[in-house]
A and B are shown apart, each in its own frame.
Chain A
Amino acid sequence: GAGVSQSPRYKVTKRGQDVALRCDPISGHVSLYWYRQALGQGPEFLTYFNYEAQQDKSGLPNDRFSAERPEGSISTLTIQRTEQRDSAMYRCASSLAEGSGGGNEQFFGPGTRLTVL
């Protein structure tokens, strides 16, 4: 079946513009996660959802970042008034179940490479 998809794959924007990054999880997966990954580092947690509810947004860097998953499927990560330091690979993952233990293995999408000029 289809894996996690993300769009766009590449986004170049000018400083100060807003961007919206989309994630379409594996069908039936309850939980959806957003990460940011810098070169040579592991993914850095941003936020996650169980169904449509945002469970934890402690990793969002500041209030310019927001995320939603209104129908419990597709999610959008929005960055307002982008800055050059926002340039990174943004990755989305989904898992079948919530909570710890079996079923919460996360599967990643291809990522969106954001470049802010």
Chain B
Amino acid sequence: QKEVEQNSGPLSVPEGAIASLNCTYSDRGSQSFFWYRQYSGKSPELIMFIYSNGDKEDGRFTAQLNKASQYVSLLIRDSQPSDSATYLCAVGYSSASKIIFGSGTRLSIRP
């Protein structure tokens, strides 16, 4: 069983709409949660991190964490074509710095 699960997509969203990306994880003791954006041929780029239950907003991005249900999500408001990329969810183990990545969700914003 994969430790961090994401729908591979592609997820197609019209420009200006809200894109919703989801991730579930298996280690109930996980304490840190990250969203990375990766453009084709580039390195992963950290866009959001969250450590506490609830919502965290940064510009057009909102990360949501629900530890009881073991899921974390990323909302992108007012989606732009430049948001088209693969979004990687990563989860930090409870007792170490090691983080585990999901396989990523490919997001496509259509004009």
Contacts and interface: CB of A to CB of B under 8 A. Distances in A.
Nearest to B48: A105
Nearest to B44: A108
B17 interface: no
Given A42-B88, A108-B45, A111-B43, A100 B103 contact: no
Interface string A5-40: 000000000000000000000000001010100001
B44 A45 contact: no
How many chain B residues sit at the interface, stated as a range, is 20 to 34
B82 interface: no
B93 interface: yes
Contacts of A106: 34, 46, 90, 99
Nearest to A50: B97
Interface string A102-117: 1011111111000000
Interface in B67-99: 88, 90, 92-99
Contact of B100 (A31, A45, A101): A45
A42 B43 contact: no
A98 B97 CA distance: 6
A99 interface: yes
B43 A100 contact: no
B51 A45 contact: no
B46 A110 contact: no
B62 interface: no
Interface of B: 4, 31-32, 34, 43-46, 49, 51, 88, 90, 92-104
